[in-house]
Amino acid sequence: MSAFDDLSTALQYQIANTLGYSGLRPVQEASIGPILAGHNAVVLAPTAGGKTEAAFFPLISAMDTEDWRPVSVLYLSPIRALLNNQEERVIKLSGLVGRRAFKWHGDTSPGERKRFVADPADILLTTPESLEAMLMSPRVPTRELFAGLRSVVIDEVHSFADDDRGAHLSALMERLTRFCGRDVQRIGLSATVGNPEEILRWIQGSSKRASVVVDPKGQKKAPILALDFVQTLENAATMIKALHPGKKRLVFVDSRRVAEGLGHILKQLGVMTFVSHGSLAVQERRDAERAFEQGSDCVIVATSALELGIDVGDLDHVLQIDSPKSVASFLQRMGRTGRREGALPNCTFLTLKDKLVLQGAAILRLRDEGYVEDVRPSRRASHILAHQLMGIAVQSGGIARGDWWAWLDGATSFDGLEPSERASIVEHMVQSEILSESDGKLWLGRVGEKKYGRANFRELYAVFDVPRLITVRHNTEEVGTVDANFLATLDSDLEPGTFTLAGRAWEIITVEWGRGICVVRPAAAGRPPRWAGAPRHLGYQLCQAMRRILVEDAIHPAWSPRAQAVLGTMRAEHEFLRDEPSPLIESHGDITWWNFAGGAANVLLARVLEGELGGQCVSRNTSITLKGEAAVSAVRVRQVLAEMAGQGRPTREDALRHAQGAVRSRVSKFQPCLPERLLQDLLVESVLDVEGARLAVGGVNSR
Q: Which residue type does 653 have?
A: E
| Contact between 687 and 663 (Cβ < 8 Å) | yes
Q: Which run of H or E residues covers position 475?
A: none
* pLDDT surpassing 70 at residue 1: no
Average pLDDT over residues 361-369: 96
- The confidence score (pLDDT) of residue 313 equals 62
Task: Output the pLDDT for position 392.
Answer: 93
Asked if residue 101 has pLDDT above 70, the reply is yes
Backbone angles phi, psi at 302, to 5 degrees: -140, 155
* DSSP letter assigned to residue 536: P
Rg (CA), the chain: 26
pTM of structure: 0.86
pLDDT (mean) for 562-577: 96
N-term to C-term CA, the chain: 58
- Listed in sequence order, the residues at least 6 apart from 554 whose beta carbon sits closer than 8 Å to its beta carbon are none
> How are the residues of the chain apportioned to helix, strand and coil, as percentages rounded to the nearest 5?
45, 15, 35
Statement: residue 308 has pLDDT above 90 = no
Same fold, 3-214 and 382-458: no
DSSP letters along 592-621, please? EE-----HHHHHHHHHHHHHHH-SEEEE-S
Using DSSP bridges, classify how beta strands 346-351 and 185-190 pair: parallel, antiparallel or unpaired: unpaired
Amino acid at 689: D
Q: Is the pLDDT of residue 91 over 90?
A: yes
Query: What is the per-residue pLDDT for 268?
Result: 93
Buried b (16+ CB within 10 A) or exposed e, 381-414: bbbbbbbbbbbbbbbbebbeeeebbebbebbbbb
Residue from 596, 609, 690 nearest 650 by CA: 690
Which tens digit of pLDDT belongs to each residue from 285-301? 777 777 777 778 889 89
Cα 92 to Cα 99, 102, 123, 189, 305, distances in angstroms: 9, 11, 12, 19, 24
What does the alpha-carbon distance between residue 455 and residue 468 come to, in Å, rounded to a whole number? 15
| Strands 469-474, 477-483: pairing kind | antiparallel
Query: What pLDDT was estimated at residue 278?
Result: 78
pLDDT in tens, 13-44: 999 999 999 889 889 999 999 999 999 999 99
For 3-214, give the CATH class: alpha beta
Q: Is 681 helix (H, G, I), strand (E, B) or coil?
A: helix
**Rounded Cα–Cα distance for residues 264 and 130 (Å):** 34
Q: Distance from CA of residue 702 to its chain's centroid?
A: 36
Q: What is the pLDDT of residue 465?
A: 63
CA–CA separation, 515 vs 30, rounded Å? 53
Instruction: Give the separation between CA 447 and CA 468, rounded to whole angstroms.
Output: 21
| Chain mean position to CA 537 | 14
Q: Give the residue among 493, 489, 478 at the shortest CA–CA distance from 528.
A: 489
pLDDT of residue 645: 94
Which residues, in sequence order, are CB contacts of 264 under 8 Å at separation 6+?
500, 503, 504, 505, 525, 526, 528
Provide mean pLDDT across the span 674-680: 93
In 191-287, which ranges are E strands? 211-214, 224-229, 248-252, 273-276
Distance between CA atoms of 326 and 310, rounded to whole angstroms? 20
**Percent of the residues in the chain that have a pLDDT greater than 70, as a whole number:** 93
Read off the pLDDT band of 665 (50, 70, 90).
low
Q: So what's the pLDDT on residue 703?
A: 44
Over residues 148-207, the pLDDT tens digits come to 999 999 998 888 887 888 899 999 999 999 988 899 999 999 877 778 999 999 999 999
Interval 255-282: pLDDT, tens? 889 999 999 999 999 999 988 887 888 7
C-beta separation of 185 from 152 below 8 A? yes
Q: 382-458 sits in which CATH class?
A: mainly alpha
Q: Positive or negative, the Cα torsion across 251, 254, 260, 261?
A: negative
Rounded distance, CA 396 to CA 406, Å? 13
Residues in CB range of 588: below 8 A, 6 or more apart: none
> Could you tell me where the DSSP H helices lie in 345-418?
354-368, 382-396
- Mean pLDDT, rounded, for 2-21: 92
Domain covering 224-274+284-368 in this structure, CATH number: 3.40.50.300
Please check whether residue 268 is in contact with residue 230, taking contact to mean a CB–CB distance below 8 angstroms: no
Nearest by Cα to 323 from 553, 532, 566: 566
Give the whole-angstrom CA distance, residue 131 versus residue 126.
Answer: 7
The conformation of residue 80, written as its DSSP 8-state character, comes to H
The residues near 425 (Cβ < 8 Å, ≥ 6 apart) are: 382, 385, 386, 389, 673, 674, 675, 678
Domain residues of the chain, as ranges?
3-214, 224-274+284-368, 382-458, 469-522, 580-698
pLDDT per residue as tens digits for the range 222-244: 899 999 999 999 999 999 999 99
Q: Where are the alpha helices (DSSP H) in 312-353?
A: 327-334
Q: Dihedral sign for Cα 397, 403, 404, 408, please.
A: negative
